[in-house]
Amino acid sequence: MHFSIPETEVCSGENGSSYVVSVEAYNIHVNGVLHCRVRYSQLLSLHEQIKKEYGSNVVPAFPPKKIFTLTPAEVEQRREQLEKYMQAVRQDPLLGSSEMFNSFLRKAQQVGEVGDDPGGSTEETQQIPTEEVALDISLSNGQKITANILTSDQTEDVLDAVAAKLDLPEDLIGYFSLFLIRELVDGGVTFVRKLQEFELPYVSISSLQSSDFHILLRKSYWDTAYDGDVMDNRVGLNLLYAQVGDPGRSALSSAQCRSHLPLSDRACVMKMIFSLPHQTVSDIERGWILVNKDQHRQLKSLQEKGSKKEFIHLGQTLKYYGYIKFDPCVTDFPEKGCQVIVSAGNNELNFHVKLPNEQMKEGSFKVTRMRCWRVTSSVIPLANGTTSTCSSKCEVKLELAFEYLMSKDRLQWVTITSQQAIMMSICLQSMVDELMVKKSGGSIKKMLRKRHNGSIYRADSQQAVKSPPLLDSPDTNREQIVKLSTKLSSVSLLGISGSNSANDISGNDFHGNYAFEGIGDDDL
């Protein structure tokens, strides 16, 4: 989870001064997207509540009140301190999963922009009323269903509503998640992020004010072994089939799908779900899964026979089955400034790199050989060479850097510069979580963030395993990285040779990899 406060809203007084008179509005970004705008007083109130509930020894340091009006430099200093505070709270397994913290984020998202009145009265805020609305949810076949929800419903509530609309059994809901995607002009899709448990999906999608953005229902796991659980149910089978896709037909546009299939009642929804072979936008059609002529012929034959399980079983053997493909971006591996297309799946990041000599190379980085990774964000310099942290329109540059075990005694940083860096980080974390749950003999269902006695339960990798420290973190202020004492699986580096990359990189969202494993000479 990446928390940042890259922007500060500064409200001027009656004298036109650039100093903050009484209201500071801090723009909190979650996973690279504006989540809410809050005042210092609201964050202070949250801090006091957390401190009262959990004690002063547990709660991280909070920037103190100031008696006098803040100067611009002091506003910037407070912004940095609040950013570190939010990151520290979220990364703490106890505080970050507390209902108190998540409730604050939900309520803050539901409130509109802070009023410009220097008095800063709460009456000046505009809150989205809690009311019933219809929310469109896209399926992997390009069609949509409409779920009736409340504007205040969080992600888990919306997912439950979608499952009920589709007749997806409750025990299978955890195999799917909601993703925010953007539809491109050429018909392609960009994954923006996975919706988090504290988000209000209706508010998230409405605040973007663009018809290009949609909420997508897609499977949320990586291990194909779990496909068997989902395929035992007819609705689950068809949802997976929709994701793999139709190799032989073009898809209708979203507008065509909506006009051809009214979704006002369950009968229409079920008719749509079970007629997927005729109208699908899928991973195969997008080119995310590679299919040769013989495989295409076999898939087409299985499709014509209506053999959906066999279709999926064959799909599982195809290259890049279950991967998420990201937009073209830039990497420093094997050389600085290389164009690359990154895909995430099968517990790895796959690189298709274009070298300066126009040669194409492919390589894979296994998550079990990533000692740690971090997401960094920085404000892009303006045309005049200056930067701005107080403008609501500033652009943020995102980078994902991971430290990779190239050989037994050589760790190397690899950096990806991409606006989807946070989504890549989320993919890595979910792979690690899944590996840890499987290693401990647990069930994927336990990875769900569930309500438990009024709080959100997170079964992530940090809670799943406790083991001794391995190496010091590159950032001495961060906790030490730990590893498993036993191997999870054999690992390998494919295709791409080594390079000279920077040994360290600064960042503000650090992830220690609990699935990192020691590599012996026999493994290399």
Contact 32, 193 (CB under 8 A): yes
Quote the CA–CA distance of 38 and 171 in Å, as a whole number: 37
Alpha helices (H) along 355-496: 421-439, 461-464
Per-residue model confidence (pLDDT) at position 286: 72
State mean pLDDT over 355-375.
91
Query: Which residues, including other chains, have CB under 8 Å from residue 178's CB and lie 6 or more apart?
Result: 137, 155, 158, 159, 162, 194, 195, 201, 215, 216, 217
CATH number for the domain whose boundaries are 324-523: 2.30.29.30
Quote the CA–CA distance of 218 and 195 in Å, as a whole number: 12
Per-residue model confidence (pLDDT) at position 269: 41
Architecture of domain 132-316 in this structure: Roll (3.10)
Lowest mean pLDDT segment, chosen from 109-113, 130-134, 154-158: 109-113
Range(s) within the chain of domains with CATH label 3.30.1520.10: 3-124
Contact 101, 108 (CB under 8 A): no
> In this model, does residue 265 exceed pLDDT 90?
no
DSSP bridge pairs for 37: 27
State mean pLDDT over 44-61.
90
Contact 219, 229 (CB under 8 A): no
Per-residue model confidence (pLDDT) at position 33: 74
State mean pLDDT over 416-433.
92
Tens of pLDDT, residues 375-396? 887 766 555 554 444 444 556 7
**Residue 482: band (very low, low, confident or very high) from pLDDT cuts 50, 70, 90:** very low
- Residue 312: name the closest of 374, 361, 245, 249 by CA: 245
Tens of pLDDT, residues 56-74? 888 888 999 888 888 888 8
- Residue 340: name the closest of 507, 496, 504 by CA: 496
Residue entry with tokens 């068809």: 238
Tens of pLDDT, residues 194-214? 998 888 899 889 888 888 999
The torsion angles phi and psi of 137, rounded to 5 degrees, stand at: -120, 125
Per-residue model confidence (pLDDT) at position 470: 30
Quote the CA–CA distance of 480 and 425 in Å, as a whole number: 19
> In this model, does residue 352 exceed pLDDT 80?
yes
**DSSP states along 458-480:** ---HHHH----EEE--SSTTSPP
State mean pLDDT over 273-290.
56
Lowest mean pLDDT segment, chosen from 34-43, 101-110, 347-356, 472-481: 472-481
What percent of the chain is modeled with pLDDT above 70? 68
State the chain's mean pLDDT as an integer.
74
Residue entry with tokens 């903050």: 20
Q: 3-class secondary structure for 342-358?
A: EEEECCEEEEEEECCCC
Q: Half-sphere exposure (CA, 13 Å, Cβ side) for 45?
A: 8
**Residue 267: band (very low, low, confident or very high) from pLDDT cuts 50, 70, 90:** very low
C-alpha angle 225/230/232, rounded to 5°?
Answer: 105
Per-residue model confidence (pLDDT) at position 514: 54
**Residue 312: band (very low, low, confident or very high) from pLDDT cuts 50, 70, 90:** very high
State mean pLDDT over 261-265.
39
Q: Six-digit token pair at 488? A: 């999870």
Task: Give pTM, 2 decimals.
Answer: 0.71
Per-residue model confidence (pLDDT) at position 258: 36
The torsion angles phi and psi of 264, rounded to 5 degrees, stand at: -80, -20
The torsion angles phi and psi of 37, rounded to 5 degrees, stand at: -120, 125
- 368 to each of 348, 351, 365, 429, how far by Cα in Å? 8, 16, 9, 11
Per-residue model confidence (pLDDT) at position 245: 66
Residue entry with tokens 């300066």: 356
**DSSP states along 379-391:** EPP-TTS---SS-
Per-residue model confidence (pLDDT) at position 278: 32
Tell how many helices (H) and how many strands (E) occur in the chain: 15, 21
Range(s) within the chain of domains with CATH label 2.30.29.30: 324-523
> In this model, does residue 507 exceed pLDDT 80?
no
> In this model, does residue 76 exceed pLDDT 60?
yes
Contact 219, 175 (CB under 8 A): yes
Per-residue model confidence (pLDDT) at position 465: 32
Fold observed for domain 3-124: PX Domain (3.30.1520)
